Structure 1
Amino acid sequence: MSWSDLPAELVAGIADRITEHVDLARFRSVCPSWRSASVEHAARRRVPLLLLPSQQNSRVNRSLWSLADDSITEIPMPAACGRSFLFASPRGWTLAVADDFSATLLHPFTGASESLPALPPSFHDGYQMILRDMVWDRSPDAVMVSQGKGAFFCRLQGDGRSWTPADLSPPARVGSITYCDGAFYLLDKRANKVTAVDGATFAVAAAIEPPDLAMPDRSWARESTLVVSSASELLLVVHGGCHRSKGLFKAFHADRGSLVAGWSEVAGGGLGDRAVFVDHARGFCVEANGVNGVRRNCVYVASAHEEANANANSGWGDWGRYTVSMLDLDGLTTQNLSHGNLLKCLHGRQRPSWSMPNLH
Structure 2
Amino acid sequence: MQDKSRDREDASVVALQGTEMTMGWSDLPADLVAVLADRTTDHADFACFRSVCPSWRSASAAHAARRRVPLLLLPAEYQLRVDLHLWSLADDSIAEIPLPAALGSFLFASPRGWALAVDQHFSAAVLHPFTGASAALPELPPSFRADITVRRDMVWDHSPQHTVVIARRSQTTKLLSCFFCRPGDGFWSAVECSEEIGQVSGITYFDGAFYLFDGETLRTVGVDSETFAAVAVIEPPTVTLVTPDERLRPWNRRKAESTLVVSSADDFLVIDRRHELGGPYGGSGEVVSIEAFRWDGRSWAAVDDIGDRAVFVDSSRGFCVEANGVNGVQRNCVYVATSNHHGRCTVSVLHLAGRTTERLSLGNLSQHRCGRFWQWPSWSMPNLHRSHPNKTKFELFI
Aligned 8 A contact 1:324 1:337 in 2:
yes
Question: 1:122 and 1:215, CA in 2 relative to 1: closer, same or farther beyond 3 A?
Answer: closer
Q: Which amino acid aligns with 1:15?
A: A
Aligned to 1:272: 307
Alignment of structure 1 residues 142-161 onto 2, 5 Å: 142-148=163-169, 149-156=176-183, 158=184, 160-161=185-186
Q: Which amino acid aligns with 1:136?
A: W
2:286 and 2:44 map into 1 onto residues whose CA distance is: 40
Q: What secondary structure, in the 3-state scheme, does the structure 2 residue paired with 1:101 have? A: coil
Select 1:117's aligned residue among 135, 138, 151: 138
Offset, 1:120: 0.6
2:324 and 2:356 map into 1 onto residues whose CA distance is: 22
State the superposition RMSD in angstroms: 1.9
1:34 and 1:245 map into 2 onto residues whose CA distance is: 45
Aligned 8 A contact 2:143 2:177 in 1:
no
Deviations 1:7-41 (A, max 9, x none): 00000011111111111111111111000000000
1:202 and 1:215 map into 2 onto residues whose CA distance is: 30
Q: What secondary structure, in the 3-state scheme, does the structure 1 residue paired with 2:49 have? A: helix
Question: 1:245 and 1:73, CA in 2 relative to 1: closer, same or farther beyond 3 A?
Answer: closer
Aligned 8 A contact 2:106 2:119 in 1:
yes
Segment drifting more, 349-358 vs 322-331: 322-331
Select 2:158's aligned residue among 138, 142, 154: 138
Q: Which amino acid aligns with 2:384?
A: L
Offset, 1:262: 3.5
1:116 and 1:230 map into 2 onto residues whose CA distance is: 29
Structure 2 residue 383 is matched with structure 1 residue 342: no
Greater CA radius of gyration, 1 or 2?
Answer: 2
Aligned to 2:38: 16
Q: What secondary structure, in the 3-state scheme, does the structure 1 residue paired with 2:340 have? A: strand
Aligned 8 A contact 2:344 2:370 in 1:
yes
Q: Which amino acid aligns with 1:13?
A: V
Aligned to 1:359: 384
Q: What secondary structure, in the 3-state scheme, does the structure 1 residue paired with 2:36 have? A: helix
Structure 2 residue 278 is matched with structure 1 residue 221: no
1:77 and 1:27 map into 2 onto residues whose CA distance is: 24
Structure 2 residue 258 is matched with structure 1 residue 236: no
Aligned to 2:393: none
Deviations 1:45-82 (A, max 9, x none): 1100001132346555311101111111123444x645
Deviations 1:225-252 (A, max 9, x none): 1001234311111122336873422211
Select 2:226's aligned residue among 188, 193, 200: 200
Aligned 8 A contact 1:61 1:77 in 2:
yes
**Structure 1 length as normaliser, TM-score?**
0.89
Aligned 8 A contact 1:88 1:353 in 2:
yes
Q: What secondary structure, in the 3-state scheme, does the structure 2 residue paired with 1:248 have? A: strand
Structure 1 unaligned residues grouped into runs of 5+: 308-319
2:344 and 2:369 map into 1 onto residues whose CA distance is: 5
Select 1:62's aligned residue among 80, 84, 88: 84
Structure 2 residue 291 is matched with structure 1 residue 250: yes
Select 1:292's aligned residue among 327, 336, 347: 327
Q: Which has the higher strand share?
A: 1
Taking every aligned residue pair, what percent have the same amino acid on both sides?
Answer: 58
2:91 and 2:234 map into 1 onto residues whose CA distance is: 39
Aligned 8 A contact 1:227 1:283 in 2:
yes
Alignment of structure 1 residues 163-178 onto 2, 5 Å: 163-170=188-195, 172-178=198-204
Q: What secondary structure, in the 3-state scheme, does the structure 2 residue paired with 1:306 have? A: coil
Aligned to 1:281: 316
Segment drifting more, 135-144 vs 227-236: 227-236
Q: Which amino acid aligns with 1:119?
A: L
Q: Which amino acid aligns with 1:330?
A: A
Q: Which amino acid aligns with 1:221?
A: K
**Structure 2 length as normaliser, TM-score?**
0.80
Q: Which amino acid aligns with 1:262?
A: S
Aligned to 1:108: 129
Aligned 8 A contact 1:101 1:119 in 2:
yes
Deviations 1:204-262 (A, max 9, x none): 1121111112575559432111001234311111122336873422211223xx4xx23
1:276 and 1:208 map into 2 onto residues whose CA distance is: 20
2:222 and 2:254 map into 1 onto residues whose CA distance is: 26
Segment drifting more, 35-44 vs 239-248: 239-248
Alignment of structure 1 residues 4-83 onto 2, 5 Å: 4-56=26-78, 60-78=82-100, 81-83=102-104
Q: Which amino acid aligns with 2:321?
A: V
Question: 1:32 and 1:175, CA in 2 relative to 1: closer, same or farther beyond 3 A?
Answer: same
Q: Which amino acid aligns with 1:75?
A: I
Q: Which amino acid aligns with 1:252?
A: F
Offset, 1:203: 1.7
Question: 1:70 and 1:9, CA in 2 relative to 1: closer, same or farther beyond 3 A?
Answer: same
Aligned 8 A contact 2:223 2:229 in 1:
yes
Segment drifting more, 165-174 vs 45-54: 165-174
Aligned to 1:184: 210
